[in-house]
């Protein structure tokens, strides 16, 4: 018979051969998943014995991780914003840095409890669900081009009972219903360059490429979103928030500026990397001033 302590130590030694892994944490996550117990149980009862069947199953889980399968796909879940979300190989694995999108969204929603919100490319539904948990009165629309990902997002939404979220399949704003504008649009789109060497590292090789890669410079999806949103999707004074790569902030700011957005700013994640850029749509007075300026420029050229 093998104790929990022995099983953990053996798994840690095995997983130490995996680049970029955290053997102690990952061994504990796999064993707690197997036992359907919190990690604290493993350390409170280190002498508890596993059955032979349990231990063989645990070894299989460790081997799956050793073959680079992401922990989140093995356990079928990932924590995000204190929510336990179900994930699968059709969904991007939610990451801690994406919580910055939620933080900045909440900052803009402070005085708007009944806001209309759109989450473009929702994946597992992480952002939409986090916002729903904080703003139960908000009306939220979540879109994704992947039917499999959207099915997972719907399941997560139903599991938490967040019936204020509506799900639509399609590409970015094209999937939004034609019933008005939004106070806030948020997106964590694919933004990795097609030839980025990081695509061969960590969990990325087994995550859906559709949710990761966006053209030669990684900005194709962001360009599309900015173009679609800038037409008529935000209420005057509404906000667009985008996650992007740490080296893309200046390019994203330039795209937003060229599209006529105001109050453009970039915010850093906990690692200190520029990660989220936000911008405000022109308000009624801003639009009036813009038309006056355009009229004056046109008149001066005549």
Binding residues for substrate: 188-191
Q: What residues are designated binding site?
A: 121-125, 144, 172, 188-191
Q: What residues are designated binding site for S-adenosyl-L-methionine?
A: 121-125, 144, 172, 188
Residues 104, 277: Cα–Cα separation, whole Å: 10
Antiparallel, parallel or unpaired: β 182-187 and 234-243: parallel
- Which pairs count as long-range contacts for 264-270, CB under 8 Å and 24+ apart, including other chains? 267/100, 267/104, 269/96, 269/97, 269/100, 270/96, 270/97, 270/100
């Amino acid at each position: 018979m093998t104790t929990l302590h022995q099983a953990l130590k053996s798994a840690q030694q095995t997983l130490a051969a995996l680049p970029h892994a955290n053997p102690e944490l990952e061994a504990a996550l796999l064993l707690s998943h197997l036992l359907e117990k919190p990690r604290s149980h493993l350390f409170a009862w280190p002498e508890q014995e596993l059955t032979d069947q349990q231990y063989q199953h645990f070894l299989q889980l460790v081997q799956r991780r050793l073959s680079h399968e992401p922990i989140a796909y093995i356990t079928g879940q990932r924590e995000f914003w204190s929510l336990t979300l179900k994930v699968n190989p059709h969904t991007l694995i939610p990451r801690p840095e994406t919580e910055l999108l939620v933080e900045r969204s909440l900052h803009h929603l402070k005085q708007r409890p009944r806001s209309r919100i759109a989450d473009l490319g929702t994946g597992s539904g992480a952002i939409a669900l986090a916002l729903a948990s904080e703003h139960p009165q908000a009306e939220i629309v979540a879109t994704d081009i992947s039917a499999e990902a959207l099915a997972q997002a719907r399941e997560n939404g139903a599991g938490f009972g967040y019936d204020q979220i509506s799900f639509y399949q399609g590409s970015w704003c094209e999937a939004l219903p034609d019933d008005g504008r939004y106070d806030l649009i948020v997106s964590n789109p694919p933004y990795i360059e097609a030839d980025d060497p990081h695509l061969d590292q960590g969990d990325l090789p087994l995550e859906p490429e559709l949710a990761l890669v966006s053209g030669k410079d990684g900005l194709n999806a962001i360009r599309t979103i900015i173009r679609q949103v800038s037409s008529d999707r935000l209420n005057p004074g509404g906000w667009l928030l985008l996650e992007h790569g740490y080296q893309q902030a200046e390019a994203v700011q330039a795209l937003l500026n060229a599209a006529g957005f105001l109050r453009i700013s970039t915010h850093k994640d906990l690692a200190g990397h520029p990660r989220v850029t936000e911008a405000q749509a022109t308000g009624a007075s801003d639009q009036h001033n813009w038309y006056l300026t355009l009229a004056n420029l046109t008149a001066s050229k005549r």
